[in-house]
Amino acid sequence: MQKLNNSNYKIKPFSQVTDFHGHICPGSAIGYKAAEIAIKELFSKKSFDEELICITENDSCAVDAIQVVTGCTFGKSNLIFHDYGKQAYTFINRETGDAVRLSMKESFSTDNINPNLGKLRQKVNSGTATNENEAELRETINKVSEGIINLPDNEIFDVQYMKVELPAKTRIFKSVKCSKCGEMVSDHRKRLHKENILCMPCFNKIKEN
């Protein structure tokens, strides 16, 4: 792997993730660790444009942390979502072509940090919890999240180094009018039906009928 100089880049504190996400939770802590590992392994700075790419295989709380720490966002098209329901993330350094895939270990569980978390959540979600139970849950969540951040990297993720085909850089497409609903749709997302331009929702309705 080609080593870049990232000595001037400091990982953002987890508090900034919490400010963005709205609360502390184990999910955002997992994403924080994934982003931290990716930057260390790829010797990459934060992505101000499209230098770093993330392909996430879930849409969990973790992705908010990845956006904050790495700068990969949907708006820049360097955060790519695959709806696979897997705690797995592939990070690509566009400058070197190096990539690393992080997949959660089967052995990792928040129960290993605090086995009471699941029980407290179940009690609170059942509607039978007292104020003390709810306060204990919040405190436990904070402690578990902190515990995740302090875990060794290899206790959370399996790390696989790879070479991948680089996704194309962002392009600006013109908008065209859907002939059915009248709304504007990006040209590269349009569908054609009997020579009529349709947006995806209108096209899908025709297919269903």
pLDDT by residue for the chain (209 residues), tens only, comes to 444 444 456 889 999 999 999 999 999 999 999 999 999 999 766 666 778 999 999 999 999 999 999 999 999 989 999 999 999 999 999 988 999 999 999 999 999 999 999 899 998 999 888 999 999 999 999 999 999 999 999 999 999 999 888 887 777 889 999 999 999 999 999 999 999 999 999 999 988 87
Residue 39 belongs to some domain of the structure: yes
Same domain, 125 and 193: no
What is the pLDDT, as a whole number, of residue 171? 79
The domain containing residue 31 runs over which residues? 14-163
Same domain, 84 and 183: no
The number of folded domains in the chain is 2
Same domain, 181 and 154: no
What is the pLDDT, as a whole number, of residue 17? 97
Same domain, 87 and 61: yes
Same domain, 122 and 100: yes
Same domain, 128 and 190: no
Same domain, 155 and 188: no
What is the pLDDT, as a whole number, of residue 8? 55
Residue 32 belongs to some domain of the structure: yes
Same domain, 159 and 179: no
Alpha carbons 73 and 155: distance in angstroms, whole number: 27
What is the pLDDT, as a whole number, of residue 204? 94
Same domain, 108 and 184: no
What is the pLDDT, as a whole number, of residue 150? 96
Strands lying side by side in the sheet with 79-81: 79-81, 52-56, 88-93, 98-104, 157-163
What is the pLDDT, as a whole number, of residue 48? 67
What is the pLDDT, as a whole number, of residue 38? 94
Longest pairwise C-alpha distance within the chain: 64
**Burial letters 71-108, b for 16+ CB under 10 A, else e:** bbeeebebbeeeeeeebbbbbbbbeeebbbbbbbeeeb
What is the pLDDT, as a whole number, of residue 20? 97
